[in-house]
Chains A and B, each alone.
Chain A
Amino acid sequence: MYFKLLDSRSIIMKKEEVPQDESNLASANFREMVYAVDDDGKYTTSLSTGWDPKKIALDNAIKEIEERIANAKTRVLNNETSPIEYYMEVHKMDLPVLASYVGMWQWRVKRHFKPSIFKRLNQKTLKKYADVFDISVEQLKNIDAGES
């Protein structure tokens, strides 16, 4: 049966085989705890600096976010969306998370993505967004102002 075949190449996770691959964790001096068996088959814990398959998954997720940010930036510069969407991406948020932080309905936040609507927003609303993104209203209005 096919699953028997797949099984045969499995190796038991042994303590000395806990992967110590290079990862984003290593740079932050961060080691995580994993469970593994020792020579007597007894469970114990061990610290790991990372594991390649995991690093690849995380790297891909980060690349994906970077692409989203770059894409949002282009659309702001082309006047297709407002800086709110750009900063939302910078902060790894999506619409539900941002709406929850500013305390508004999602449809309202989405409406503020429209450049024409964004231009007419009052100071109080702008300030709300700026506070959530931890920037000034000036930086919110002009996405290049924040990159010094």
Chain B
Amino acid sequence: MPENLKIDFAHNQSAHCENGVVSNLMKHNGFNISEPMVFGIGSGLLFSYLPFLKVNYAPVFTYRSMPGLIFKKFAKRTGIKMKREKFKNPKLARQRLDQNLERNNPVGLQVGVYNLIYFPDEYRFHFNAHNMVVYGREGDRYLISDPVMEEVTSLTEKELEKVRFAKGAFAPKGHMYYPISFPDELELKSAIVKGIKQTARDMTAPVPIVGVKAMRWVAKNIRKWPKKLGPKKANHYLGQIVRMQEEIGTGGGGFRYIYAAFLQEASAILDNPKLMELSKDMTSIGDAWRDFAVDASRIYKNRNAASSGYDEVALQLEALAHREEQFFKSLKKAV
């Protein structure tokens, strides 16, 4: 391939990497789709608690659906066809990437964060579901549009191979993806309704590990942690909740603000004023999540906190579960 190759690709920063890559690839192909739209149509919002699965020596709490699912659902619901490839052989993975760049086709890549050298050190954990777009090559450096970064960046061939073939949970295996065909017009309206319906259903599902039931389960466990685990581990677990809620990519308040932005946009597209009202409710719920984070961080700031603090945040979480339950019941009726 030629030494230098730069596809005309507009980099827009986003809060979350997966939405951001999809939104940027869509814009590149002439469809003006915002990040919240991708997130909402792809049913990205969730709450889930997996106490039996440990990451960084703490249970898994998540405020979003599984990596990759947002994209998959968004494509299916809007009628877009995607091409996805995974590789065993790094050399083949690179060749296929080069071929796409030569065809003037920017591609999305799934990568691991630990070896992403342009990230601040403190943020480099073994998390393998990050997403970026490669849009060209200059010498031995690949041109990267990482949606959580303000500006574009680049990685050497070796650096890119390392992150594409990171190991551990959700190992990317060189995963590369891009849209290959679009409908004449995106089926936005029906896609929005489908996205909302699924989120409302999942959040109120009668399953202990997802939605408001999972929030209540976490609250119940938080009360037990100080006695059962000791203050150190209890604080670590509580810190993990706050990190998952507010970490880069959530847009603040565990994705609740992004979802509120989606409802606002959806209200205009569907000409449904009720969604505008619900957007305001969701913003207020997001604020309550922020309050929860503030109070939780007060506990683990002083390491030998009294267990009354834990009871208080557990109460807050239960209040949130109650509000979200009411919210998603009304949302289901609104579309």
Q: Which residues of A contact B26 (CB under 8 A)?
A: none
Inter-subunit contact A34/B252 (CB<8 Å): yes
Inter-subunit contact B15/A33 (CB<8 Å): yes
Inter-subunit contact A35/B239 (CB<8 Å): no
Q: Which residues of B contact A37 (CB under 8 A)?
A: 283
How far apart sit A25 and B249, CA to CA, in the bound complex (Å)? 14
User: How large, as a class, is the contact surface on chain B?
Assistant: 35 or more
State the main secondary structure of chain A at its contact with B: mixed
Choose from B15, B123, B288 the contact partner of A35 (Cβ within 8 Å): B15
User: How large, as a class, is the contact surface on chain A?
Assistant: 35 or more
Q: Which residues of B contact A64 (CB under 8 A)?
A: 57, 236
Inter-subunit contact A10/B288 (CB<8 Å): yes
How far apart sit A27 and B121, CA to CA, in the bound complex (Å)? 11
Report the stretch among B41-49, B84-92, B256-264 that lies at the interface. Answer: B256-264
What are 28 A-B pairs at a CB distance below 8 A? A10-B284, A13-B252, A13-B287, A30-B150, A32-B249, A34-B15, A34-B257, A35-B260, A43-B257, A43-B265, A47-B13, A53-B296, A54-B243, A56-B239, A57-B242, A57-B246, A58-B122, A60-B239, A60-B300, A61-B239, A61-B240, A61-B243, A64-B236, A92-B124, A92-B126, A96-B168, A96-B169, A97-B168
Residues in B lying within 8 Å of A, measured CB to CB: 13-15, 36, 54, 56-57, 114, 119-126, 148-150, 167-169, 171, 235-236, 239-240, 242-243, 246-249, 251-253, 257-258, 260-261, 264-265, 279-280, 283-284, 286-288, 290-291, 293-294, 296-297, 300-301, 315-316, 318-319, 322-323
